[in-house]
Amino acid sequence: MNRPNPNISAQRPAIRQLDEAAINRIAAGEVIERPASAVKELVENALDAGARRIEIAQADGGKTLIRVSDDGCGIAPDDLALALARHATSKIDGSDLLDIHSFGFRGEALPSLGAVGRLSVAARAEGFDAAEIAVAGGRMSAVKPAARGRGTTVTLRDLFYATPARLKFLRSERAEAQAISDTVKRLAMSAPQVGFVLRDVSGGGEGRVTFRADAEPGDLFDALEGRLRRILGAEFADNAIRIDATREGLRLSGFAALPTYSRGAAVAQYLFVNGRPVRDRMLIGALRAGYQDVLARDRHPAAALFIDCEPKLVDVNVHPAKAEVRFREPGVARGLVVSALRHALAEAGHRASSTVAGATLGAMRPEPTGARVYQMDRPSAQARGAAYQAQAPGFAEMAGDWSARVEDAAPATDNTPATALPLGAARAQVHENYIIAQTDTGMVIVDQHAAHERLVYERLKGQAAERGIAAQALLIPEVVELSEADCALLGEHAGDLATLGLGIEPFGPGAIVVRETPAILGEVNAEALLRDIIDELHDGGASGLLGARIDAVLSRMACHGSVRSGRRMSGDEMNALLREMERTPLSGQCNHGRPTYVELQLTDIERLFGRT
């Protein structure tokens, strides 16, 4: 049955010019998806105006009211009407769209909002009187005097009243309010020197403050750390490491959390390019690759990373909402993120997570028993030593039927007491799996199997990097049929794949022959492997998939080759394990992202026993 094409008219269609109102509504559909999009555009305008304090108010999830007030440079009365005109902007002159130093530059936000809602703009610039202009459904009023200080207040009421069909696509008021809050928090991260206040005025009046972040003092990193502590919480700040690296005109800065502070979903990943919040697939993939060796597949890293570069090195004019960017050299940007994260994580490899320690203390904390008992002051070191000697015979009895054994004090190394080292001196082994070590400031509990698993894994990776990945020749080479474009793509990376043990050659047009596969992978489906590699090459421009598979095999080998739970270790073995952990990068977590040890401060332990 033949159906007529609804897009083809029986008569020749006439070409007509759309009116200004229709043009603005179409633009609004691209730029203003929901109330949070309107808040994003207005707050970015305030930041471009040099505001030091921005206050946002919303009612009913932004559906009935959005108001953004700032103390920026303001707008002169004669420019108010032009500010509401389509493609009118003070950000650029239009001569070079690759030299953009501001958030906004399209000149679409205000006219788009005025086309789908009731918009009013009140502003006062230095040396001018305050003035106000309003527009509703695309119809503009005359400019009239207003009363306000320096800066701008933009009020948007009844969003999408002129396009009621769009209202049906909005979510609940609570969900839209949460989206607004998330948007404001992202922008607040990008400008820690600016104060932000978000109010919910749904009930009228002043409403209630749902988010507040005062301007942070200090330099770049101190201000950013303070702002992230306010937004992401103290746990993130306490478990984050500083990132600062440069490469070929790009600078990466920010904070990334330790692998032991991971999340079950990618909800704590914030990426910025020249201060602009973005959701870029390439950067998200690079973030994941940076944590590849230290996180399980079902865990996600937490990070707030900022890439800064000359505007000409990145194109922000690729998406109406400016949520995506395109780097001139995407491989450089991806490599910078991956290498900087791996280097920082390696340097902090045996830093314990405070979250893990806090959970440990919480599990050990006894129930309140009434009045607090005040203990005498701590005894001196000499008194403690005498007491330890007096108690030694009792400890000797534990060598038999008990699951814990106490070792003699570890010898000093290089005139440095073992307790002064990061992981201290091994004192005992309990349940044949956990090593108890003493440090000058507390104690460390080590999971011997998890710790040794990381050590063996790093050793195997080092050997593979030094000697290369052994390849096994296929008895019968496998021919894989692909498109000519995919064959050409694989041919470009054949040399890199060969270093990983995968030998491929062209086999006529539209085919690749696989002659060797990595021996460590054992039997492998060559066609499936090639297609996965092609997908990754299309997505990220480089294939780390084969290397990731090999690393996964090395990880499994390390698990089977490490010290097993239940094995008794001598004092020398335990101390040797601690010293090797101190020398090995990433030893603070096993191959799956679990912590290898927990560090407890002496002050926290004393609080457990009421020694306050």
Residue with tokens 């496998």: 478
Report the percentage of the chain scoring pLDDT > 70.
Answer: 76
Closest CA to 430 of 455, 456, 407: 407
What is each CA distance from 466 to 210, 240, 461, 493, 516, in whole angstroms? 55, 32, 9, 21, 20
CA dist., res. 162 & res. 25, Å (int): 9
What local confidence, expressed as pLDDT, does residue 228 receive?
95
Residue 344: pLDDT over 60: yes
Domain positions in the chain are 20-213, 220-347, 401-607
Cβ 574 vs Cβ 368: under 8 Å: no
The backbone region for 127, taken as left when phi is positive above 0, alpha when psi lies in -120 to 50, beta otherwise, is left
Beta bridge partners of 436: 428, 445
Return the pLDDT at 371.
Answer: 46
**Residue 402: Cβ within 10 Å count:** 11
Residue 68 has pLDDT above 90, yes or no: yes
pLDDT at 557 (0 to 100): 52
CA distance 94 to 100: 10
Please determine, for residue 61, whether its predicted confidence score (pLDDT) is greater than 60.
yes
**Secondary structure class of 85 (helix, strand, coil):** coil
Host H or E run for residue 188: helix 173-190
**What average pLDDT does the chain have?**
80
Distance CA 361, CA 607 (A): 10
Most confidently predicted of 94-108, 285-299, 440-454: 440-454
Q: Using alpha carbons, list the distances in angstroms from residue 230 to 213, 227, 445, 468.
A: 7, 5, 31, 47
- Give yes or no for a contact between 47 and 103, defined as CB atoms under 8 angstroms apart: yes
Q: Is the model's pLDDT at 387 over the cut of 70?
A: no
> Which has more confidence, 198 or 409?
198
Please report the pLDDT score of residue 394 as a whole number: 44
Q: pTM of the entire structure? A: 0.72
Q: How many Å separate Cα 95 from the centre of its chain? A: 35
Q: Average pLDDT, stretch 224-237?
A: 93
- Return the residue matching tokens 């030593």: 385
Q: Helices in 191-325 by DSSP H: which ranges?
A: 220-232, 234-238, 281-290
Query: How far apart, in whole angstroms, are the C-alpha atoms of residue 336 and residue 308?
Result: 12
Residue 351: CB partners within 8 Å, gap ≥ 6? 241, 258, 588
Whose CA is closest to 73, among 131, 149, 144? 149
How far is Cα 43 from Cα 40, in angstroms, rounded to an integer? 5
Whats the size of the chain, residue-wise? 612
Tell me the CA end-to-end span of the chain in Å, nearest whole number: 87
Query: What integer pLDDT is reported at residue 391 of this predicted model?
Result: 46
Q: How many other CB atoms are found less than 10 A from the CB of residue 43?
A: 27
CA-CA-CA-CA torsion sign (240, 244, 245, 246): positive
Distance between CA atoms of residues 49 and 116, nearest Å: 24
DSSP β-bridge partners for residue 442: 439, 601
CB contact at 8 A, 160 and 17: no
Other beta carbons within 10 angstroms of residue 312's beta carbon come to 12
What is the model's pLDDT at position 27? 60
- pLDDT score recorded for residue 64: 94
- As beta bridge partners, residue 124 has 151
CATH 3.40.50.11310 holds for 220-347: no
Residues 6+ apart with CB under 8 A from 466: none
> What is the distance between the alpha carbons of residues 347 and 241, in angstroms, rounded to a whole number?
10
Tokens 């927990």 correspond to what residue? 598
Give residue 95's pLDDT: 54
Q: Which CATH number fits domain 401-607: 3.30.1370.100, 3.50.50.60, 3.40.50.300, 2.40.110.10?
A: 3.30.1370.100
By three-state DSSP, how is residue 60 classified? helix
Return the CATH superfamily for domain 20-213.
Histidine kinase-like ATPase, C-terminal domain (3.30.565.10)
**Closest CA relative to residue 499, chosen from 473, 467, 529:** 467
C-alpha to C-alpha distance for 329 and 334, rounded to whole angstroms = 9
Closest CA to 357 of 349, 365, 366: 365
200, pLDDT greater than 80: yes
Render 495-525 in DSSP notation, one character per residue.
HHHHHTT-EEEE-STTEEEEEEEEGGG-S--
Of the candidate ranges 330-344, 478-492, 547-561, 594-608, the one whose mean pLDDT is the lowest: 547-561
| Collapsed DSSP state (helix, strand, coil) of residue 416 | strand
Q: Does the pLDDT of residue 12 top 80, yes or no?
A: no
pLDDT value for 437: 92
Residue 208: predicted pLDDT? 93
Task: Give the three-state DSSP class for 57.
Answer: strand
Closest by CA to 282, choosing from 344, 339, 332, 320, is 332
550-590 confidence digits (pLDDT tens): 676 566 656 656 666 778 888 888 999 999 888 888 888 88
Q: How far apart are CA 241 and CA 344, in angstroms?
A: 7
Q: Which helix (H) or strand (E) holds 478?
A: strand 471-481
Q: Three-class SS of residue 82?
A: helix
Q: Distance (Å, rounded) from C-alpha 465 to C-alpha 457?
A: 12
The backbone torsions φ and ψ at residue 313, rounded to the nearest 5 degrees and listed phi first, read: -85, -5
The predicted-structure confidence for 101-139, as pLDDT tens digits, reads as follows 666 565 677 888 888 889 999 999 999 999 999 998 778
The Cα 56–Cα 68 span in angstroms is: 5
**Cα(420)–Cα(416) distance, rounded to whole angstroms?**
7
Ramachandran category for residue 25: left, alpha or beta (phi over 0 → left; psi -120 to 50 → alpha): alpha
Q: E strands along 86-150, which residues?
A: 118-124, 131-136, 139-140, 144-145
